[in-house]
Amino acid sequence: MPAKDKVSEAVVRRLPVYHRYLERLEEEGVTRISSQELGARMGLTASQIRQDINCFGALGQQGYGYNVSELRRHIAEILGLGDDYGVVVIGAGNIGRAVASYTGFARLRFRVEALFDTDEARVGERIGDAEIHRLDALGAFLADHPIDIGIVATPAAAAQGAADMLVAGGVRAIWNFAPVDIAAPEGCAVQNVQLTDNLLVLTYHIHNDAPGGGA
Amino acid sequence: MPAKDKVSEAVVRRLPVYHRYLERLEEEGVTRISSQELGARMGLTASQIRQDINCFGALGQQGYGYNVSELRRHIAEILGLGDDYGVVVIGAGNIGRAVASYTGFARLRFRVEALFDTDEARVGERIGDAEIHRLDALGAFLADHPIDIGIVATPAAAAQGAADMLVAGGVRAIWNFAPVDIAAPEGCAVQNVQLTDNLLVLTYHIHNDAPGGGA
DNA sequence: TAGATTGTTAATCGATTAACAATC
DNA sequence: TAGATTGTTAATCGATTAACAATC
């Protein structure tokens, strides 16, 4: 329990970014870094970096800065990166398959243990090490296998139902790619990806920003 | 140019969400809605909804509320949803393919015109209506075809280079799925998707929140 | 008209930034 | 030690919420 008070969601969202940049610095062989320079790289103020890091204790050293590997390891621990996670994917369409076979996962110690779909034609097919099961079998599967994360990649209409089944099966977190906001009770974290929303932010800028930034 | 002053990015990010909920209401046959009720559905305060909408003019009517279709159409216009957009995808791996064949696109009038990859083995393959070209051919392709949006789905190391080529080719917006932050000059909007960052927010909560929300 | 609900100004809240004493 | 840089408190800024007069 390293967290001081309550860590704001804004800070939590920056944590993976810190981890990413620190990993990079380690690769470059940089062993120490000041909030000043880390800020310059990440496009944040030195002040903010010190505030953020201090949510988790005094990890720096006056006059020296931060030890890159030490800080990276500490943030990795806060993010739960040491653990490994069992994952199921609901919906074996384009997105479900792509996410299931995403290579970044192995590196992170995620095991995709099964996919589920209502389409009979897909049942039995294998995606990497995992097999596609019929959605009906989800409840039983969750009862037998300790699954931490459920990925929802169904059409909009099926998403909340899928989420409810996952929650009932004791899943701790849901990663939702369906184009609807999903609700889950406390104790089950949800991240909505909303690819289309994200894309429309781009069309907004294409449509409304002056081309070239000036004219 | 409908925008009043400068619309904050926080508001812009909510615009697609408004659009999504209003679409839903239209489907349900709801013709008018108050900020109160829309707020209840979306999990926002009525106040915030009125503030947001007023960035784009007085679109409601006192004592009545908002006309659902009218408001939806207005927001669609602000988001540039009437236009159609030429798209290229750089990187024809799992994510590139999945995004290229994402069915949500057609509905939005996005035309994926080509994919590009450095892997010779993939060149010539077709994904939906589009063909995979060698990355070398990107510059020439952009010179010939009016492309609005470039989707970057390369490994981290190749992402900034791909973005630079897209910018040089006159692309107006970049949708980046590579696990690095990409820089582009003003006049080219960037949305970083960072799937892994998003996922680590979930592992953070699994690792740090009390299970069940209480114990 | 009376009731409802917006548009808009003012108050509040939280997050970011600045400043500086503590300390390595 | 002197210089650098943190940890932390105070100031600022922006976004959200509350309040209420305008008006349909």
pLDDT tens, B66-82? Answer: 999 999 999 999 999 99
Predicted confidence (pLDDT) at residue B210 exceeds the cutoff of 80: no
pTM of the complete model: 0.94
What are the E-state strand segments in chain B?
32-33, 66-67, 85-90, 110-117, 126-127, 130-134, 149-152, 173-176, 189-192
Nearest by CB to B201, which of A16, A20, A83?
Answer: A16
Mean per-residue pLDDT of chain A: 94
Window from A2-11, A16-25, A45-54, A195-204 with minimum mean pLDDT: A2-11
- For residue A187, the 8-state DSSP code is T
Q: Which nucleotide is nearest to B60 (CA to C1')?
A: C6
How many other CB atoms are there within 10 angstroms of residue B124's CB atom? 10
- For chain B, what percent of residues have pLDDT higher than 90? 90
Optimal mutation site among A44, A202, A207, A209, interface B, most CBs of chain B within 10 A: A202
Q: Å between B8 CA and C20 C1'? A: 33
Predicted confidence (pLDDT) at residue A80 exceeds the cutoff of 50: yes
Q: How many CA atoms lie within 13 A of B126 on its CB side?
A: 3
* pLDDT score recorded for residue A215: 32
Predicted confidence (pLDDT) at residue B2 exceeds the cutoff of 70: no
Nearest-angstrom CA–CA distance, A54 and A189: 24
Nearest-angstrom CA–CA distance, A164 and A13: 25
Q: Å between A147 CA and C1 C1'? A: 63
* pLDDT score recorded for residue A102: 85
- pLDDT, one tens digit per residue, over A113-141 is 999 999 999 999 999 999 999 999 999 99
Inter-residue contact A182 to A174 (CB < 8 Å): yes
- pLDDT, one tens digit per residue, over A89-98 is 999 999 999 9
Structure confidence at residue A212 as a pLDDT band (50, 70, 90): low
What are the E-state strand segments in A66-210?
66-67, 85-90, 110-117, 126-127, 130-134, 149-152, 173-176, 189-192
Q: Do you know the residue count of chain A?
A: 215
As to burial, measured by CB atoms within 10 angstroms (0-12 exposed, 13-18 middle, 19+ buried), residue A27 is exposed
Token pair of A12 as six digits: 């939590």
Nearest-angstrom CA–CA distance, B201 and A128: 25
Read off φ and ψ for residue B191, nearest 5 degrees.
-120, 120
Structure confidence at residue A105 as a pLDDT band (50, 70, 90): confident
Q: Å between B59 CA and C3 C1'? A: 21
Q: Which residue has the tokens 């009906």?
A: A136
* pLDDT score recorded for residue A4: 45
* pLDDT score recorded for residue B104: 76
- pLDDT, one tens digit per residue, over B88-120 is 999 999 999 999 998 777 788 999 999 999 999
Q: Which nucleotide is nearest to A36 (CA to C1')?
A: D5
Q: Which nucleotide is nearest to B57 (CA to C1')?
A: C7
- For residue B65, the 8-state DSSP code is B
Straight-line distance from the first to the last Cα atom of chain B, in angstroms, rounded to the nearest whole number = 53
The protein residue nearest C2 (Cα–C1') is B63
How many other CB atoms are there within 10 angstroms of residue A108's CB atom? 16
With CB atoms and an 8 Å threshold, state whether B204 touches A102: no
Strand bridging mode B189-192 / B173-176? parallel
Inter-residue contact B99 to B115 (CB < 8 Å): no
Nucleic chain C contacts, protein chain B, residues 89-128, CB cut-off 7 A: none
